[in-house]
Amino acid sequence: MGDALRRLAFCDEIVLVADRPTQRTQEIARRHGAQLVAGIFPLDSQRRTAGAEACGGDWILEVEPDEQVDSALAWEIRATLQMRPQGDWFEVPVANYVAGALVERGWGGVLGSVRDARLFRRGAKRWPPRRFGGGVLSGASGGALKGALRRQVAEDVGGLVERLNRLTALAAEDRAEAGHAGGYGAVHGLGHFLGSYVGRAGWREGRLGFLIALLAGLHPVLTHLRAREILETRRRTAGAAAAPELLKVATR
């Protein structure tokens, strides 16, 4: 985290949003001159909204904890904003690394993207209330930058599987909160696999590309099954709680 904050020194201000931050997190924020927004954020959208609202500038650069801004991208961002652009948001390329190696192809959807609208005017991006998912943009695109954010997706193959496990759990909670598990996802899963392995040329990354495509295909299936599991557990719990009340009525 410290290195990521250090690389944001080119910004006019740094806002760090943390859910129940530890003493160490608070110390790191102070050391790098970051404004710490601390709280309890059940939803990812709440955390992002709180961060955007705490920013005082006209433009916001959104950076994840596992990402870093290199000097070339920092210079490009400053130069772009000094030209007073007409657009409301810019797409920023993302360079995805696994075990320290750059993996260029096969990304898309839940595991990782190769570009995202991370530089935007205040108010040009909002986040619907949910645990998982991207933001909604408004206004006009200013184009795409050339420099890339460096994202450490996972330290190893196991980290990729853990990432999928975490993301499907969040997506399943969102679906269960909406009261449905969605479709089974088998057809969508096959489409995601082919889209990653063939459409986005994941096959060119060898075994790692196949794994990324496989995990992308499993995402809709696992999300559906986990959402069903949550809903069924809630129904059983509600039924068990209602049983004593029914017994009381029957014995009166």
- CB contact at 8 A, 90 and 119: yes
CATH code of 2-153, in short, is 3.90.550.10
Per-residue pLDDT of the chain (252 residues; tens, 9 = 90+): 788 999 999 999 999 999 999 999 999 999 999 999 999 999 999 999 999 999 999 999 999 989 999 999 999 999 999 999 999 999 999 999 999 999 999 998 788 899 999 999 999 999 999 998 889 999 999 999 999 999 999 999 999 999 999 999 999 999 998 888 776 667 788 999 999 999 999 999 999 999 999 999 999 999 999 999 999 999 998 887 766 665 565 555
Model pLDDT, residue 179: 86
Model pLDDT, residue 252: 58
The reported pTM is 0.87
> Which residues make Cβ contacts (< 8 Å) with residue 84, sequence separation at least 6?
none
Residue spans of the domains in the chain: they are: 2-153, 156-251
